[in-house]
Amino acid sequence: MYNEVKSLGSLTGTDRTPEQTDLANFWNGSFPGQMNRLARDLAIANALTVSESSRLLALVDLSIADAAIAAWDCKREFNFWRPATAIQLGESDGNDKTEGDPGWVPFIPTPPYSDHTSGANNFVASATRAMSLFFDTNEMEFQIPTTNPGPTIVDIRSYSKLSDVRDEVEDARILEGIHFRAADKIARRQGEHIAQWAHAHYLRPVKEAFLLEVDTSGLEKFVNP
């Protein structure tokens, strides 16, 4: 993990391919904004009703909000160093396997909070998993535009699976030089589990959440099944 981000995530002297550099630039933006736009696009593409669209967006944003709480709770609890700090101080960390480089700089500026776990991967994993659970499929044709006004070659990327987005964001944060692989993978699992919990426990469709009963006086009432 150390050598991976050191090799691929450096600002200069990197082993990134041009395609990987463009991927890093593409996913350097507003993740909640991109996920909400995707949810709206899918709602339109699938001709959802107003109530169905509202439920989809609520599940997506509820999952994102809880994912943010989980990520920043971990960041405050573990306070694990970012690649820039770890690589620059690699010679003084007591680990012979980490060759330091005091001049190492990440491809994008390091955010002012700790590495573990990745907020971006929590956001994207929770949102895309919420969408796949809502539509009961991982396989969908869709596009996502970047929110980075910078030097991206591809401004809109096409996908056939929601999980492909999670794969890209996991790799992108390493290519950007701001996360170790473990922070991305664990955040991805966190986000997926959060979305699954939200889907199972909240905002259930009325037809699944309640049964309609009629009492002897003819009055209708909803009761839990």
Q: Would you state the pLDDT for residue 207? A: 64
Fold assignment, 2-223: Vanadium-containing Chloroperoxidase; domain 2 (1.10.606)
> In the structure, what pLDDT confidence band is assigned to residue 217 with cuts at 50, 70 and 90?
very low
What token pair was written down for 35? 């996920």
CB neighbour class for 57 (10 Å; exposed up to 12, middle 13-18, buried from 19): middle
Q: Are the C-beta atoms of residues 143 and 154 closer than 8 Å to each other?
A: no
- Name the region of 19 (left: φ>0; alpha: ψ -120 to 50; beta: rest): alpha
The pLDDT of residue 174 is above 70: yes
Q: Are the C-beta atoms of residues 27 and 168 closer than 8 Å to each other?
A: yes
SS3 assignment, position 112: coil
User: DSSP string covering 152-188, please?
Assistant: -S-SEEEEEEHHHHHHHHHHHHHHTTS--HHHHHHHH
Q: What is the pLDDT of residues 33-68, one digit of tens each?
A: 999 999 999 999 999 999 999 999 999 999 999 999
Domain positions in the chain: 2-223
| Segment of 36-50, 84-98, 208-222 carrying the highest mean pLDDT | 36-50
Q: Would you state the pLDDT for residue 216? A: 44
Q: What is the pLDDT of residues 126-166, one digit of tens each?
A: 999 999 999 999 999 999 999 998 888 999 999 999 999 99
